[in-house]
Amino acid sequence: MLELRDVTGGYGRITILNGTSFTIPKASITTIIGPNGAGKSTVFKAIFGLLSIHSGQILLDGEDVTRRTPAEMIARGVTYVPQGRNVVPQLSVYHNLELGGITSRDQARVKRRIEEVMDQFQILREFKDRKAIELSGGQQKQLEVARALLLDPKLMLIDEPSIGLSPNIVQEVFQTLIRLRDLGVTILMVEQNAKAALAMSDYGIVLELGQTRMHDRADKLLKDPRVGQLFLGGHVEETV
Ligand SMILES: Nc1ncnc2c1ncn2[C@@H]1O[C@H](COP(=O)(O)OP(=O)(O)OP(=O)(O)O)[C@@H](O)[C@H]1O
């Protein structure tokens, strides 16, 4: 569904992606792991039209979408949930949801979608008149995910959804993503919390220095000693 072919790009003259390549299938969850500064978030910016791409190609359902603007990517069903807290704290949950549909010309449809999305996220219906800042961290993440769903995305890019959340709440957010995957949404996620993220993913990608080092089924990566040593706190016996 999404393919990166030998993408290079970066910020100004600094090159961060050094030939990143991978393919992800429809209705799957893929997690990108890798050391700090590997370029994981930069991959998302490249896909979403926020990075200067020097060479290579990005294909979405076979269409070349390299160097499209964010608005063009949204129109093609791609949505991006950046790292950190991205709700407007003083606005109500409902108003935050409305922001997800602000670019749509069909506001009646946005209203219908808000109702549908609130059916999926009962907690948001319950708290719809509360200020977003009054929600817990996990609930705010749910709100961001829900808002990203308003335009019926087919591909969701989600950057470190677990940051700052307690393990129970992380599991709730992950369950939400699994539910979306089961409804046919393709999810590409970046996570520091590599073990928990791979455990709920279909595929995993290890990125280092802006290159894909490994790409396999998530369960295989979880058992791979190289991944264990680097990212999962595991140890590999030294062979002399
Ligand atoms: N806006 C920017 N301008 C210049 N350099 C940037 C910018 N954003 C990121 N970088 C640099 O690009 C490199 C990759 O950053 P990126 O955020 O993609 O890494 P990451 O793998 O997501 O790391 P982390 O796990 O720490 O979030 C880093 O060296 C960073 O300093």
Banded model confidence at residue 121, pLDDT cuts 50, 70, 90:
confident
Q: Which residue do the tokens 């990143």 mark?
A: 20
- From the alpha carbon of 34, which atom of ligand 1 is closest? 21
Say how many Å lie between the CA of residue 106 and the centre of ligand 1: 36
Residue 238 has pLDDT above 50, yes or no: no
Closest residue by Cα to residue 191 from 87, 85, 79, 83:
83
Q: 41 near 192, Cβ under 8 Å?
A: no
Tens of pLDDT, residues 36-59 = 899 999 999 999 999 999 999 999
Kindly report the average pLDDT of the chain as a whole number: 90
* pLDDT reported for residue 230: 72
Tens of pLDDT, residues 187-203 = 999 998 898 999 999 99
Tens of pLDDT, residues 164-220 = 778 888 888 899 899 999 999 999 999 988 989 999 999 999 999 999 999 999 999
* pLDDT reported for residue 151: 82
* pLDDT reported for residue 233: 62
Say how many Å lie between the CA of residue 125 and the centre of ligand 1: 36
First to last CA, the chain: 43
pTM of the model: 0.90
* pLDDT reported for residue 234: 54
Which of 13, 14, 16, 17 has most ligand 1 atoms within 8 Å of its beta carbon, as the pocket-test mutant? Answer: 16
CA–CA distance from 151 to each of 28, 42, 112, 154 (Å)?
Answer: 19, 24, 11, 9
Percent of the chain with pLDDT over 70: 96
CA–CA distance from 17 to each of 14, 40, 66, 76 (Å)?
Answer: 9, 9, 14, 23
The pocket around ligand 1, CB under 6 angstroms, is made up of 11, 14, 16, 34, 36-42
Helices and strands (H and E) in the chain: how many: 10, 10
Tens of pLDDT, residues 59-72 = 999 999 999 999 99
The token pair that represents 188 in the structure block: 């590409």
Residue 237 has pLDDT above 70, yes or no: no
Cβ-proximal residues to 43 (8 Å cutoff; 6+ apart), any chain: 4, 17, 20, 32, 190, 207
Separation CA 138–CA 32 (nearest Å): 21
Residues 132-144, mean pLDDT to the nearest whole number: 90
* pLDDT reported for residue 78: 96
Separation CA 116–CA 133 (nearest Å): 23
The token pair that represents 183 in the structure block: 């409804």
* pLDDT reported for residue 105: 84
Cβ-proximal residues to 169 (8 Å cutoff; 6+ apart), any chain: 136, 137, 138
Separation CA 10–CA 50 (nearest Å): 10
Separation CA 183–CA 29 (nearest Å): 12
